[in-house]
C-alpha cells in the first residue's frame, strides 16, 4: 500500500557527506546545481535512489562524466542512477518554478511578483522539490550554498550557516556563499532572497562566542521586529542558564513572511517565521499575540539543540524534537511570565485541541505507526501531548535529574539522528532509572480515563485512595494496556488546610510533606494515607501531572472548597473548571442546580476578593469552552452546547450582580494603558471578561461600553475585545466599528486577518451568509494561509454553533471550499478538513449531513495525498 510504516525502517543505503549547492535565482525560473559527495553503506546493495518532485532535469553527471540517458531513470518522484560508487560525486542541474508554487513547499515566492521575495520551506519533505537528494532526516550532510541573482531585484541573499564570501557578477548580478560546519538533514535547508530590511543585535554567549542576531522583514514591517529580538535574546540566555546550551554559528538570521503554511521553521541559522509569530506592536497586536511571538521565537531557537544538533532518525520520531521543544518553550514561558497562567493556557489548549483528536477518527499515537502523508502528523498529539509526556518524565526525575539526563542525551546524540528510545534511554541511564515503561505512552493512542475513589476510615484515621485507569479503543487499536500515570496529590481538611501525608509503606523522608506523587502503573491500585484526622478532600493530578481525564465523584461543595482554598493557581482553576462542567450538566439535565449554585457562589466570593491576581480571576471566571463541553457528551448538538454555555455565564453574571460588574469594569477602564507589563495585561484580560459577563445579562449596556472602549482603545487588545463583543452580540454599533477597523488597518495584513476572523463569531444563524460575502471581499484570497485560516478556520473551529448548522449548510460550504483549496495548497486544505473531527458523535441530522459531505469529498478522483488521507481517516 502507499502507507509508510515505522516497522519498515531501514538505515540509508547511500549517505551524502557533503553537498555543494548553487542557485541561479529567478522568480519564474530558478536553476539549481547540486554536487553530492556520496557514501555507500557496504552492507547494502541498493542502487542509488534520490527523491525529487516536480524537477525539470537539465543535466546529470557522475564523477565528472555526463551520464547517458540509459544510465538514469526519473519516475514516480525517484531518480535512479547506475554506476555510483562509494566516494562518487553526482552533479545535477534542475529547474524549478517558484512563482507557480502555490503549495508553499520547496522554493516559492512570498508576496507580489514586483515586491515579493523568494524563500524555501523544506520540512518535512520540501527539499526534494528543490533538488535530487535522499530527502530523509537520517542523512546528515555538510552544506555549502552559493546564491546568484540580480542585485537590484534580490539585494539580500541568505542561506543557513556562516557567510563565506560574496561579490559582484556580470550583468548586474551578485553572489553570496554560506558554509555550515554542522552536518544536518535536508529538511533544515533554507534560503531567502529579496528586498528585505533588517535589525541587528550583538550577542555574546556564556563561553564568549560573538553572534550577530539579525531579523529581516519587508520594509513596512521592520519597525515591528523589536519585540521578537528581545524575545530571542531572552531565549538564548535562558537555554544557556537552564540547559547549558549555546548557539553555535556566527550569525543567526530570522525572516518574517506573510505566506507560510505553519507557525515558523527552525532552519539551521536561518529561521523563517510566519509574520503572525514575529511582528508585534501595540497598535496591531493583542497581548495574547505578544505572548505567542515570545513562545514561537523561543520554540524555534530551542530547536537548534532539540531538533537540529540532535535530529530525528525518521518522521515517526517527530515528537522527539517537537514534544521536547514544546516542553522547553513551556518551561521558558513559565519562567518569563506567570507559571500558573501558562499551565492553565497549555492545559486548556490540550483539552481543546488534543483530547478531541485523541477521541475521534484521526486519533494516533504520539509516535504514529504509519502514515500516508507526514505533513498530516504535525498535530496536537505529536506536539502538545508529546510535551506532556516529556513533562511526566521530567517530573519523575526532578529538576537536577532531568538536567543530568538531558546533558547525556545531547552529548551522546550530538550530530546524530536519534529515536525516542535514545531519549528515554539517556534520561534513564543518567539517573539509574528504567524509563522504558513510558514508551507505552508513545505507542498508544487515546486519552486514559483515570478514576479516583476515596474512602475514609474514622476508626483507623486512614484514607484509602483507589485509582484505576481505562483507555477507550481508538481506530486500529482496539485493546489498550495500562500506562504509568503519575498522580501528584494533596489532601485538604474541611477548613481548606493542607494535611501532612503519611503514605503506608512509604520511606521516611517523603513522609509528612503536604504534596507528593503516586504512580498508578496497573489497571487499579489503592494508596492508604495514615494519621488523617478527618475525612479529607483530595486535590488530585496537581499541575496536571498526567494527560488524562480525571473522573472523581466530588460533591459540588468539595470542588468549591478546592476552588476557594487550593494554594496552587492551576489547581484552583481546575477545580473551578470541573465545577463549571457539573453546573453545565445541571442546566442540561434540568436537575437541582447544586453545582451551578456552588460554582456561582464561590466565584462571586472570589470576585469580591481583592487579593487574587486579575489575570487568574479572569481565567477562573471563564467556563470550559464549547468544544471541551461537547467532548463530555455522548451525542452532540453544538447549538445546544452553545446555548447552555451562555446560560451558564448568565447565571454567573447575575449572581455576581450587574452593579459590582460595572464597578469592576469602571475601575479597570480607568487604568487603561498600552503597557505590556503583567499587571497591565492582567487588567485588560479581566476587563474583557467582565465586559463579556455584562453582555450576557445586559447586552444593550455592554454594547454602549464596548463602543466607548473601541473608540478610545490605546491597544489592539482593548480594541479587538470591544469589537468582538459588538459582533457577537450583533449590536447595531458593530457596522460602524467594522468599517472603521477596515479603513484603519487596510494596509496591515495581520490586523486585516483579525477583521475577517472577528466576523466569523457572529451568532450561529447569521454567520454563514457573512462568511460567504467575506469570501468575495477584495482582500480575501485562497492563496494566503493566514487569510484562509482567519476566515474559514476561525468560523469552522471557533464558532461551533455557526459551523454546525442543523441543515448541513455549513458542512457543504466547507466541502466545496476544501476542493478548491486543495488544488492550491494541499497542506492548508488538509488541516482545515480536520474541522470535521468529531462528526460521528453529532446528533442524527447533523451526522447525516456531515457524512454526505465527507463521502462526496472522498469520492473525488484528484484529491491530494494530504486531503485524501484526512478524508479517508474521517470515515474510520
Ligand atoms: N518544525 C516546524 C514544522 C513546520 C512545517 C511542517 C510542515 C509544513 C510546513 C512547516 N513549517 C514548519 C515547526 C516547528 O517549529 O515545530
Ligand atoms: Zn517545533
Q: Is 122 found in the same domain as 98? A: yes
What's the Rg (C-alpha) of the chain? Answer: 28
| Residue 646 resides in a domain | no
Ligand approaching nearest to the C-alpha of 187: 1
Choosing from 104, 105, 123, 127 the residue with most ligand 1 atoms within 8 A of its CB, the one to mutate for a pocket test is 123
Looking from the CA of residue 104, the nearest atom of ligand 1 is 9
What pLDDT does residue 1 have?
A: 61
262 lines ligand 1 (CB under 6 A): yes
Alpha carbons 348 and 628: distance in angstroms, whole number: 9
Q: Is 38 found in the same domain as 157? A: yes
For residue 224, the tally of other CB atoms under 10 A from its CB is 22
Number of separate domains in the chain: 4
- Ligand 2 centroid vs 264 CA: distance in angstroms? 8
801 lines ligand 1 (CB under 6 A): no
Q: Is 485 found in the same domain as 358? A: no
378 lines ligand 1 (CB under 6 A): yes
| Residue 272 resides in a domain | no
What pLDDT does residue 876 have?
A: 86
- Ligand 2 centroid vs 299 CA: distance in angstroms? 6
266 lines ligand 1 (CB under 6 A): yes
| Residue 846 resides in a domain | yes
Ligand approaching nearest to the C-alpha of 263: 1
Alpha carbons 162 and 181: distance in angstroms, whole number: 8
CATH of the domain at 390: 1.10.390.10
298 lines ligand 1 (CB under 6 A): no
| Residue 367 resides in a domain | yes
Q: Is 849 found in the same domain as 789? A: yes
| Cβ neighbours of residue 227 closer than 8 Å, sequence gap 6 or more | 280, 281, 290, 293, 294
**C-alpha torsion angle, residues 69, 70, 75, 79 (rounded to 10):** -80
Question: Domain containing 774: what range?
Answer: 745-876
Q: Is 528 found in the same domain as 413? A: no
Ligand approaching nearest to the C-alpha of 277: 1
Alpha carbons 14 and 18: distance in angstroms, whole number: 12
827 lines ligand 1 (CB under 6 A): yes
CA-based angle 664:665:666, to the nearest 5?
Answer: 90
What pLDDT does residue 434 have?
A: 98
- Ligand 2 centroid vs 70 CA: distance in angstroms? 42
Looking from the CA of residue 261, the nearest atom of ligand 1 is 9
- All residues with CB under 5 Å from ion ligand 2: 322, 325
Q: What is the pLDDT of residues 157-206, one digit of tens each?
A: 999 999 999 999 999 999 999 999 999 999 999 999 999 999 999 999 99
375 lines ligand 1 (CB under 6 A): yes
Single out the residue in 147, 171, 191 at which a domain terminates. Answer: 191
Query: The whole model's pTM is what?
Result: 0.99
Single out the residue in 443, 459, 483 at which a domain terminates. Answer: 443
Q: Is 399 found in the same domain as 487? A: no
Measured CA to CA in angstroms, residue 92 lies from 59, 68, 187, 391, 509 at distances of 6, 13, 19, 46, 67
524 is catalytic: no
What pLDDT does residue 509 have?
A: 61
- 168 phi/psi in degrees, rounded to 5: -90, 155
Q: Where are the beta strands (DSSP E) in 763-848?
A: none
CATH of the domain at 851: 1.25.50.10
Q: Is 438 found in the same domain as 487? A: no
Residues of the chain with pLDDT under 70: 1, 508-510
Ligand approaching nearest to the C-alpha of 297: 1
Per-residue 3-state assignment (H helix, E strand, C coil) for 110-124: ECCCCCCEEEEECCC
Q: Is 872 found in the same domain as 770? A: yes
124 lines ligand 1 (CB under 6 A): yes
Which residue among 266, 300, 384, 388 is the active-site one? 300
What pLDDT does residue 568 have?
A: 86
Chain centroid to Cα 10, Å, comes to: 30
Q: Is 132 found in the same domain as 10? A: yes
What pLDDT does residue 610 have?
A: 83
* Axis crossing angle, helix 386-413 with helix 318-336, rounded to the nearest 10: 100
H helix or E strand, kind and range, residue 773 = helix 764-775
Question: Is the separation of the CB atoms in 369 and 5 below 8 Å?
Answer: yes
Peptide linkage before 507 cis (omega within 30 of 0): no
Single out the residue in 515, 530, 546 at which a domain terminates. Answer: 546
Question: Is the separation of the CB atoms in 179 and 164 below 8 Å?
Answer: yes
- Ligand 1 centroid vs 260 CA: distance in angstroms? 10
Q: Is 435 found in the same domain as 506? A: no
- Ligand 1 centroid vs 693 CA: distance in angstroms? 38
Pairing outcome for strands 370-371 and 4-5:
antiparallel
Q: Is 874 found in the same domain as 764? A: yes
CATH of the domain at 507: 2.60.40.1840
Asked if ipTM goes beyond 0.90, one says yes
| Residue 333 resides in a domain | yes
CA-based angle 827:263:624, to the nearest 5?
Answer: 95
CATH of the domain at 179: 2.60.40.1730
| Residue 278 resides in a domain | no
What pLDDT does residue 511 have?
A: 79
Looking from the CA of residue 326, the nearest atom of ligand 1 is 16
Q: Is 355 found in the same domain as 477? A: no
Question: Is the separation of the CB atoms in 560 and 598 below 8 Å?
Answer: yes
Per-residue 3-state assignment (H helix, E strand, C coil) for 488-539: EEEEECCCCCECCCCECCCCCCCCCCCCEEEEECCCEEEEEECCCCCCCEEE
| Residue 850 resides in a domain | yes
Chain centroid to Cα 518, Å, comes to: 30
- Ligand 1 centroid vs 268 CA: distance in angstroms? 13
For residue 262, the tally of other CB atoms under 10 A from its CB is 17
- Ligand 2 centroid vs 325 CA: distance in angstroms? 6
Q: How many residues comprise the chain?
A: 876
- Which 8-state DSSP code applies to residue 841? G
| Residue 532 resides in a domain | yes
Amino acid at each position: 500500500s502507499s502507507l509508510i510504516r515505522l516497522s519498515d525502517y531501514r538505515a540509508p543505503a547511500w549517505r551524502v557527506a557533503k553537498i555543494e549547492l548553487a542557485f541561479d535565482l529567478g522568480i519564474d525560473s530558478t536553476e539549481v546545481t547540486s554536487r553530492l559527495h556520496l557514501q555507500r553503506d557496504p552492507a547494502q546493495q541498493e542502487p542509488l535512489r534520490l527523491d525529487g518532485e516536480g524537477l525539470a532535469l537539465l543535466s546529470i553527471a557522475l564523477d565528472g562524466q555526463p551520464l547517458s540517458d540509459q544510465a538514469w531513470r526519473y519516475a514516480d518522484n525517484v531518480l535512479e542512477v547506475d554506476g555510483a560508487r562509494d566516494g562518487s560525486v553526482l552533479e545535477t542541474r534542475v529547474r524549478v518554478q517558484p512563482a507557480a508554487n502555490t503549495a508553499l513547499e520547496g522554493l516559492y515566492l512570498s508576496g507580489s511578483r514586483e515586491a515579493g521575495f523568494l524563500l524555501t520551506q523544506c520540512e518535512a519533505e520540501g527539499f526534494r522539490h528543490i533538488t535530487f537528494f535522499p530527502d530523509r532526516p537520517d542523512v546528515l550532510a555538510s552544506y555549502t550554498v552559493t546564491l546568484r541573482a540580480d542585485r537590484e531585484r534580490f539585494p539580500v541573499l541568505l542561506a543557513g550557516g556562516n557567510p563565506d564570501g560574496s561579490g559582484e557578477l556580470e550583468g548586474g548580478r551578485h553572489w553570496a556563499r554560506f558554509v555550515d560546519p554542522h552536518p544536518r538533514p535536508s529538511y533544515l535547508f533554507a534560503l531567502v532572497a529579496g528586498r528585505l530590511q533588517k535589525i541587528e543585535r550583538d550577542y555574546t554567549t556564556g563561553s564568549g562566542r560573538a553572534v550577530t542576531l539579525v531579523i529581516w522583514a519587508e520594509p513596512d514591517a521592520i519597525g515591528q521586529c523589536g519585540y521578537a529580538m528581545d524575545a530571542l535574546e531572552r531565549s538564548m540566555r535562558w537555554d544557556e542558564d537552564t540547559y547549558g546550551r549555546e548557539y553555535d554559528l556566527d550569525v543567526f538570521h530570522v525572516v518574517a513572511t506573510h505566506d507560510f503554511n505553519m507557525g515558523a521553521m527552525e532552519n539551521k541559522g536561518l529561521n523563517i517565521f510566519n509574520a503572525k509569530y514575529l511582528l508585534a506592536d501595540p497598535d496591531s497586536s493583542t497581548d495574547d499575540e505578544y505572548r505567542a511571538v515570545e513562545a514561537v521565537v523561543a520554540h524555534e531557537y530551542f530547536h537548534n539543540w532539540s531538533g537540529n544538533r540532535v535530529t530525528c532518525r525518521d518522521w515517526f520520531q517527530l515528537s522527539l524534537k517537537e514534544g521536547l521543544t514544546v516542553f522547553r518553550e513551556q518551561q521558558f514561558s513559565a519562567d518569563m511570565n506567570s507559571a500558573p497562567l501558562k499551565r492553565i493556557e497549555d492545559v486548556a489548549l490540550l483539552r481543546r485541541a488534543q483530547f478531541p483528536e485523541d477521541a475521534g477518527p484521526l486519533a494516533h499515537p504520539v509516535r504514529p505507526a504509519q502514515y500516508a502523508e507526514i505533513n498530516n502528523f504535525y498535530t496536537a498529539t505529536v506536539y502538545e501531548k508529546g510535551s506532556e509526556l516529556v513533562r511526566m518524565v521530567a517530573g519523575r526525575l526532578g529538576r537536577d535529574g532531568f538536567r543530568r539526563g538531558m546533558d547525556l542525551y545531547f552529548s551522546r546524540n550530538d550530530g546524530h539522528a536519534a529515536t525516542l528510545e535514545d531519549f528515554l534511554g539517556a534520561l534513564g541511564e543518567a539517573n539509574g532509572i528504567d524509563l522504558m515503561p513510558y514508551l507505552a505512552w508513545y505507542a498508544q493512542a487515546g486519552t486514559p480515563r483515570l478514576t479516583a475513589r476515596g474512602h475514609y476510615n474514622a476508626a483507623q484515621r486512614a484514607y484509602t485512595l483507589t485509582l484505576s485507569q481505562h483507555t477507550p479503543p481508538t481506530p486500529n487499536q482496539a485493546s489498550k494496556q495500562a500506562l504509568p500515570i503519575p498522580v501528584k496529590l494533596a489532601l485538604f481538611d474541611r477548613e481548606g488546610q493542607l494535611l501532612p501525608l503519611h503514605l503506608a509503606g512509604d520511606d521516611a523522608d517523603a513522609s509528612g510533606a503536604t504534596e507528593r506523587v503516586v504512580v498508578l502503573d496497573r489497571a487499579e491500585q489503592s494508596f492508604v494515607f495514615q494519621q488523617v484526622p478527618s475525612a479529607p478532600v483530595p486535590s488530585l493530578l496537581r499541575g496536571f501531572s498526567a494527560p488524562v481525564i480525571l473522573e472523581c465523584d466530588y460533591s459540588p461543595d468539595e470542588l468549591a472548597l478546592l476552588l476557594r482554598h487550593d494554594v496552587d493557581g492551576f489547581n484552583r482553576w481546575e477545580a473551578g473548571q470541573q465545577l463549571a462542567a457539573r453546573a453545565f450538566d445541571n442546566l442540561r439535565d434540568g436537575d437541582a442546580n447544586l453545582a451551578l449554585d456552588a460554582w456561582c457562589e464561590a466565584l462571586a466570593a472570589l470576585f469580591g476578593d481583592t487579593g487574587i491576581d486579575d489575570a487568574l480571576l479572569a481565567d477562573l471566571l471563564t467556563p470550559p469552552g464549547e468544544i471541551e463541553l461537547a467532548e463530555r457528551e455522548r451525542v452532540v448538538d453544538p447549538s445546544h452546547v452553545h446555548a447552555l454555555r451562555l446560560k451558564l455565564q448568565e447565571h454567573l453574571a447575575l449572581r455576581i450582580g450587574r452593579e459590582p460588574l460595572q464597578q469592576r469594569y469602571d475601575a479597570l477602564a480607568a487604568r487603561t494603558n498600552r503597557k505590556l507589563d503583567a499587571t497591565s495585561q492582567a487588567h485588560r484580560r479581566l476587563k474583557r471578561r467582565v465586559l463579556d459577563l455584562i453582555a450576557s445579562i445586559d447586552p444593550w449596556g455592554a454594547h454602549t461600553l464596548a463602543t466607548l472602549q473601541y473608540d478610545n482603545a490605546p491597544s489592539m487588545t482593548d480594541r479587538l475585545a470591544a469589537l468582538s463583543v459588538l459582533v457577537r452580540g450583533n449590536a447595531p454599533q458593530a457596522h460602524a466599528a467594522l468599517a472603521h477597523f477596515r479603513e484603519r488597518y487596510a494596509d496591515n495584513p495581520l490586523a486585516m486577518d483579525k477583521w475577517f476572523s472577528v466576523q466569523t463569531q457572529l451568532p450561529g444563524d447569521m454567520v454563514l451568509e457573512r462568511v460567504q460575502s467575506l469570501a468575495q471581499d477584495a482582500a480575501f484570497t485562497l492563496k494566503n494561509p493566514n487569510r484562509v485560516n482567519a476566515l474559514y478556520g476561525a468560523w469552522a473551529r471557533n464558532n461551533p454553533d455557526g459551523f454546525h448548522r442543523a441543515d448541513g449548510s455549513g458542512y457543504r460550504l466547507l466541502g466545496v471550499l476544501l476542493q478548491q483549496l486543495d488544488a492550491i495548497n494541499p497542506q492548508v486544505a488538509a488541516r482545515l478538513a480536520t474541522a470535521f473531527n468529531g462528526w460521528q458523535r453529532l446528533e442524527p441530522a447533523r451526522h447525516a449531513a456531515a457524512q454526505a459531505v465527507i463521502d462526496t469529498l472522498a469520492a473525488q478522483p484528484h484529491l491530494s495525498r494530504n486531503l485524501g488521507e484526512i478524508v479517508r481517516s474521517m470515515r474510520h
